[in-house]
Amino acid sequence: ERQRASGTGSMDEPVKCTLVASFAARQAIIMAAVLLFMLYTWIQIRRGVEKRSLTTLVADASKQAGQQAFGGAMMVLLGVLLAHHKYDSLAWYAAEYPFEVIITTYLTGSFRKWTESGFTRWYERSREAWLEPYTKFGLYGPTPGEFRWNWYGAQMVQAVLLIGIPARVVSILAILLSLHVLPEWMSPVDLVGRAWYFSGLTCAMRTLLSLYCLPVLGDAVQFVIVDQLQKFKARDHDPRLLDTL
């Protein structure tokens, strides 16, 4: 799980840690975040704040899980690649994570709005029935409370391929660009990575904190925020639907 730095480095070069079983760990983190999100939503239902059905909640959460799984894989890959230059993959993963969460959260809301408005204009011109699910993101049938698998499948494609993947590709590219454009002392990603790498913590402790504890909390918070950005908003479509939600 770890290896000594080569003799080309300084005498104080820290032990290099690796992302052990990183992809599998990331999926477990996402599932933990989903469970925390569902617990939060259950509390909101008990308080009378949340009106969605359990089926809708599970469908919404599964779309987010699909989005985040891809982002985790990309961060792992970038961390491994950057580790060939300096620090280690675990430090880079921890450095990327907070910036990736912030950027993708913002872009998810933007891409959701852009894709939905684009499909709405297309649907209004063509009236093709297969386009309708894409115009009501978060609604899984023609009427609130109705669930159709073809609507869910269409929105899963929209969520992952048209929203989640583009948002995460842009965020990873922005992180990579910042590392190439900004001097090391001005790059927030580099500074965070350096702080983790030279923290003096053991590999086990760094793995626990940067790969499990912080991402579970961060992903859970992101789930709540993105859920609000992606849930169906009747007021944006037909205000009369507000009475049925």
Q: What are phi and psi of 239, to 5 degrees?
A: -55, -25
Confidence of residue 239 (pLDDT cuts 50, 70, 90): very low
Question: Of the ranges 5-14, 15-24, 166-175, which one carries the lowest mean pLDDT score?
Answer: 5-14
Q: Token match 């820290």: residue?
A: 14
Which tokens belong to 218? 């961060």
62, amino acid identity: S
User: Which of helix, strand or coil describes residue 127?
Assistant: coil
pLDDT on residue 66: 79
pLDDT on residue 115: 94
- Please compute the mean of the pLDDT values over residues 191-203 and round it to a whole number: 93
pLDDT on residue 236: 53
Which tokens belong to 210? 């940067």
Q: Is the pTM of this model over 0.85?
A: no
pLDDT on residue 233: 64
- Could you please report the per-residue DSSP string of 195-218? HHHTS---HHHHHIIIIIIHHHHH
Q: Please determine, for residue 70, whether its predicted confidence score (pLDDT) is greater than 50.
A: yes
Cβ contact 67:164 at 8 Å: yes
Question: Of the ranges 35-44, 132-141, 158-167, 194-203, which one carries the lowest mean pLDDT score?
Answer: 35-44
Q: Please determine, for residue 85, whether its predicted confidence score (pLDDT) is greater than 70.
A: yes
pLDDT on residue 8: 40
* Percent of the chain at pLDDT exceeding 90: 45
- For residue 13, the 8-state DSSP code is P
- Please compute the mean of the pLDDT values over residues 205-219 and round it to a whole number: 86
Cβ contact 89:83 at 8 Å: yes
Which tokens belong to 77? 């890959």
- Please compute the mean of the pLDDT values over residues 8-31 and round it to a whole number: 65
Q: Token match 């626990």: residue?
A: 208
CA distance 41 to 224: 9
pLDDT on residue 113: 92
In terms of phi and psi (left: phi > 0; alpha: psi -120 to 50; beta: otherwise), the region of 42 is alpha
67, amino acid identity: Q
pLDDT on residue 27: 65
